[in-house]
Amino acid sequence: MRKISSVEISEAIAGLVKEANYFLPEDVLKVIEKSAREEESAVGREILQQILLNNRIAGEERVAVCQDTGIVVVFAELGNEVFIEGDLYEAINAGVRKGYKEGYLRTSVVDHPLRRVNTGDNTPAVVHLKLVPGDKLRLIVAPKGAGSENMSIVKMLKPADGKEGIRKFVLQTVMEAGANPCPPIVVGIGLGGSFEKAALLAKEALLRPLDDSNPDPVIAEMEKSLLADINKLGIGPQGLGGSTTALAVKINTFPCHIASLPVAININCHVARHKEVII
Amino acid sequence: MDIRLPFREEDIKNLRAGDVLTLSGVLYTARDQAHARLVRSIEEGKELPIPLEGQTIYYTGPAPAKPGAVIGPAGPTTSYRMDPYTPILLKNGLKGMIGKGGRSREVQEAIKEYRAVYFAAVGGAAALIARSIKKAEVVAYPDLGPEAIRRLEVEKFPVIVINDIYGNDLYEEGQREYRKIDI
């Protein structure tokens, strides 16, 4: 058994939340830069330039790219040969508390969905724990803003709806979201599993590098054609009209019941934050 | 074009959806919970902690200011969440709103009826926008933390007109121009 202390975990999380909020990921920047050249609308091109300028300012001043520094979602892959000294969840929350305070990041979490009192330190984090072989702990931190999260949706389609039904559902969802999720967006789609598994698949899809594609050729083709169709919707940067509505579409799949076709769509804004570390 | 706040009737009359301009003067920040409290006060006939007549509300909850900074990153939040509270504020004199994303039919009608303007700022450009904020102080509901009402003094704050008093909607018009697919 390899020991990992709570303190080590907290320190790692505190560092990750700051880095994730101060800098747009390289893969996202690359696609925005390309879009800023190719966008058909002049207003759209100007907005993409402002987004790039904003990222430079945030990096230089070490401040958050967006004031909505999100609720912290953590994917923890815990090796079965690791012994954690202390409480993993408490260690993660201690890291969030420290990182948000030190990093001048906004505390955006309320204690109860109806009472709604700000917890004051952005805790608790939403933690997804996976047990894997080995003696390492992988921590992926993905602070998620509400503008795009609020436009996300899970629907249980009929198996007969197939590819065309999925296509319609995705295009309708993106169309209705319009300017709200701060386009250009990244679209994460979970196909299959069960009701809750589909949602998790969609969120995991958002963690993939923007330039990869699904190893399954059928799904890879869907990712490509959905991206092309979404960019024909005309929503454009900030919803003011244009040809850059989405930067990428990522689909993750899982086997499902003979009677089900669960589809989850998790939308991310262009501030598609995620950072990871392996301890 | 730069408009000095608070708004005068002729400023509002001249603005059209699609106009790109800057605003200078005083803005008040308010989002979900501050809106709920303002509307409750109006309904109960109580005095409001901020003036509404001719004023502009910016939908934002800024990040904390670093030492020496006026304010932290402060981009717009999504506006539709404020839709249920907006017509009553417009009825009570509010003239400008800054946020992002489309408004309900009711809000668009109220904008026409009460002669106001809805602007968008660039969502996610929070560090850039913060540069045009020269002064910030919490003036109401400090218990709400990032959702407290702040009085901001801004210089050349960049906005785009989305909804004007003539019933135009830039989102609808702009998106229609570039749409190449029917769903």
Match 């072989």 to its residue by tokens: A133
Q: Which residue, of A95, A115, A144, is where some domain finishes?
A: A144
Neighbours of B126 (CB within 10 A): 29
Q: Give chain B's domain count.
A: 1
Is A170 part of a structural domain of the chain?
yes
CA atoms of B163 and B176, how far apart (whole Å): 16
B-chain residues near A29 (CB < 8 A): none
User: Span B103-117, mean pLDDT?
Assistant: 98
Give the count of alpha carbons within 13 A of A209, CB side only: 6
Mean pLDDT of chain B: 97
Give the count of alpha carbons within 13 A of A25, CB side only: 24
Mean pLDDT of chain A: 97
Tell me if B181 and A53 make a contact (CB, 8 A cut-off): no
Q: Tell whether A98 and A220 lie within a shared domain.
A: no
Tell me what ipTM this predicted complex has.
Answer: 0.93
Q: B183 pLDDT exceeds 90?
A: no
State residue A30's pLDDT score.
Answer: 97
Is A168 part of a structural domain of the chain?
yes
Q: What 8-state DSSP symbol labels residue B132?
A: T
Q: Which residue, of A116, A144, A172, is where some domain finishes?
A: A144
B-chain residues near A43 (CB < 8 A): 20, 160, 174
Is A174 part of a structural domain of the chain?
yes
pLDDT band at B182 (very low <50, low <70, confident <90, very high): confident
Is A7 part of a structural domain of the chain?
yes
Q: Under a CB-based contact definition with an 8 Å cutoff, are residues B19 and B169 in contact?
A: no
Is B183 part of a structural domain of the chain?
no
Is B54 part of a structural domain of the chain?
yes
| pLDDT digits 0-9 by tens, B85-102 | 999 999 999 999 999 999
State residue B126's pLDDT score.
Answer: 95
Domain of residue B68, CATH code: 3.20.130.10
CA atoms of A121 and B152, how far apart (whole Å): 24
Domain span at residue A255?
147-272
| pLDDT digits 0-9 by tens, A62-80 | 999 999 999 999 999 999 9
Q: Tell whether A6 and A118 lie within a shared domain.
A: yes
Q: Is B110 an active-site residue? A: no
Q: Tell whether A179 and A217 lie within a shared domain.
A: yes
**Helix/strand/coil for A236:** coil
Q: Tell whether A167 and A214 lie within a shared domain.
A: yes
Domain span at residue B79?
2-140+149-178
Q: Give chain A's domain count.
A: 2
Tell me if B66 and A241 make a contact (CB, 8 A cut-off): no
Phi/psi of residue B147, each to 5°? -90, 0
- Give the E-state strand segments of chain A in sequence order: 2-5, 71-79, 82-85, 126-132, 137-144, 153-157, 185-193, 246-256, 261-268, 275-278
A274 contacts: CB under 8 Å, gap ≥ 6: A20, A25, A140, A141, A142, A206, A207
Domain of residue A210, CATH code: 3.30.1330
Q: Under a CB-based contact definition with an 8 Å cutoff, are residues A43 and A241 in contact?
A: yes
Q: Give the amino acid at B104.
A: S
Directed axis angle between helix A26-38 and helix A42-61, to 10°? 150
Q: Under a CB-based contact definition with an 8 Å cutoff, are residues B112 and B165 in contact?
A: yes
| CA A186 to each of CA A183, A202, A206, B31: distance values in angstroms, whole numbers, following the listed order | 8, 11, 7, 26
Q: Mind giving me the DSSP string for B53-89?
A: TT-EEE---PPPPPTT-S----PPPBGGGGGGGHHHH
Tell me if A234 and B180 make a contact (CB, 8 A cut-off): yes
Q: Which is the catalytic residue, given B17, B27, B35, B99? A: B35
Q: In the sheet that A246-256 helps form, which strands lie side by side, from edge to edge?
A: A153-157, A261-268, A185-193, A246-256
